[in-house]
Structure 1
Amino acid sequence: MEDIIVPVAVVGMLFIGLLGMILHYVTKWKSQTGISRQDEALLDELHDLARRLDQRIETVERIVAADNPNWKDSRIADLSEQRRQLR
């Protein structure tokens, strides 16, 4: 009888401990579903930076296209060749 009590108690404690640990981390995970204010500010800053860089690239492309009218066509051909090489 005593040989059965100890293993049953250990197995019971393992299940209770495991269940408690799972519930602890599930509630912790659910409480952190949103992004922090710092992360949101960083994303806004990166979005603004990307928009400014895109505007700069468009400006450079307009300047180069004005100097060399065939530039866009050769650039597009180069890009499609690079894509073919990647496949």
Structure 2
Amino acid sequence: MEDTLVPIVAMLSIFVAPLWLILHYRDRRRLHEIELQKKNVNNDELHAVAERMEKRIEALEDILDTEAPGWRKRHEHS
């Protein structure tokens, strides 16, 4: 029994374990890259939303400047 167990363990250690480690960490790296891509897409979307919001706020401020000229002084926080 022991005579057959040693070669089996040796074969597993030499061939299966390194292959498993290589495949495991390659898959982990791929998943990490996918997560980074998703985060970058989310950041780009947030940036676009922030830019649109900034333009809207500027438009509203322009409207308020013409409709209620003193609004900035009344709502200024010191």
Moved over 4 A (4+): none
Three-state SS of the structure 1 residue aligned to 2:75 is helix
Q: Distance in 1 between matches of 2:62 and 2:72?
A: 10
- Length-normalised TM-score, structure 2: 0.52
Report what 2:59 is aligned to: 59
Q: Distance in 2 between matches of 1:55 and 1:74?
A: 22
Consecutive unaligned residues of structure 2, counting only runs of 5 or more, are: 1-28
Q: Distance in 2 between matches of 1:38 and 1:51?
A: 20
Q: CA RMSD in A?
A: 2.0
Deviations 1:57-81 (A, max 9, x none): 11011101101111111121xx22x
Report what 2:45 is aligned to: 45
Consecutive unaligned residues of structure 1, counting only runs of 5 or more, are: 1-30, 81-87
Q: Percent identity?
A: 33
- Length-normalised TM-score, structure 1: 0.47
